[in-house]
Amino acid sequence: MRKLLTISFIILINTGIYSQQDPVYSQYILNEFLINPSVAGIDGMTTINISGRKQWLGLRYTPETYSASVSTRILKSPFNISKSRYRKGSKGRVGLGAAFFNDKNGAINRTNFQFTYAYHIFIQNYQLSFGLKAYATQLRIDKERIEFRDPDSPEIESFLGKSTFIPDAGAGINFSTPNTHLGISVINLFQSFVKIDNVDLESNELKHLRHYNLHGFYRKQLANNNWTFEPSVIIRGNEDLRFSADLSTRFIYRGEYWAGLSVRTSGELVLILGVEVNRCFIGYSFDYGFNQLSYRSYGSHEVVIALKFGESLRRYRWLERY
């Protein structure tokens, strides 16, 4: 029974992991730090980001993701005084960040904690950023979301509800100017294997696949300077050579209101809306696909709230603020 249950668990977890192993964000521009660690502190400001996403609203046990993150920049200082001794001051090149997300996909529940270190280098009027992140993912099966033919079996009761922590790491590079970002990142760098309830599943090749993200955007002021045109793209891929991409366009009015549209290669259209009020950025997106799941649901919804702190004039070295 236990062997059969383990096999069933493997089939279930493969279904959850390989179909959508990592969360997908429609508003990746506002969530850039979550997909690339080198973005931590990139603009010299402290950013707090909270988001929630529910896919295929109206259907049971569809993917839902909730996340929170904070990132900042250790700004330039001439020196520090500690215990009557002078210490060399920072050069304003280091960014730090932390993030948390909880992702539910069917009966699979994943909770992730991560910490990020970034280093920024100025090259004339450009900024080249490098980032590393370390994280651990808690993986478990939700008892309330899974059904077996014999739910009263003691073997099943002893297996369900168990959890495991899977450590791994990620890295990223980003090149930026005042109007352009271009970055690449990799997550699940070590492709850690899953072990649960002291059952080593390595022989079954159950692991978190290495994933890659290539993303970028460009901002262009239009003739009257009230409007900004911002095309962007993100390309996602993994070790199984499975790829998807979002092609997006936003129009931003006076830096405070925006609306846009994304096209996803999986066959979805994404409407993006947002507003900024006193450095509080609120974004909403609605995904609708042309498939059976979308026809039977109310689409996918995502809300992002981002708060920025710090003097905006210190954002770039070409403003001589670092």
pLDDT digits (tens, 9 = 90+) for 27-79: 988 889 999 999 999 988 899 999 999 988 888 888 899 999 999 998 776 54
Domain ranges of the chain: 2-314
Q: Residues 245-254: what's their mean pLDDT?
A: 94
| Residue 178 pLDDT greater than 50, yes or no | yes
Q: pLDDT-derived band of residue 152, with 50, 70 and 90 as boundaries?
A: low
Q: pLDDT-derived band of residue 294, with 50, 70 and 90 as boundaries?
A: confident
* pLDDT value for 7: 41
The pTM is what? 0.81
* pLDDT value for 310: 79
In the chain, the amino acid numbered 240 is D
- For the ranges 34-43, 56-65, 240-249, 269-278, which has the lowest average pLDDT? 56-65
Rounded to an integer, what distance in angstroms lies between the CA atom of residue 206 and that of residue 151? 25
Contact present, 162 and 143 (Cβ < 8 Å): no
| Residue 279 pLDDT greater than 60, yes or no | yes
Rounded to an integer, what distance in angstroms lies between the CA atom of residue 53 and that of residue 245? 18
| Residue 24 pLDDT greater than 60, yes or no | yes
Contact present, 210 and 185 (Cβ < 8 Å): no
* pLDDT value for 56: 86
Residue 104: helix, strand or coil by DSSP?
strand
| Residue 245 pLDDT greater than 70, yes or no | yes
| Residue 113 pLDDT greater than 90, yes or no | yes
The token duo for 167 is 């450590």
As its CATH architecture, domain 2-314 has Beta Barrel (2.40)
Residues in the chain: 322
For tokens 């919804």, the residue is 301
The share of the chain scoring above pLDDT 90, in percent, equals 46
More confident residue, 193 or 269: 269
| Residue 307 pLDDT greater than 50, yes or no | yes
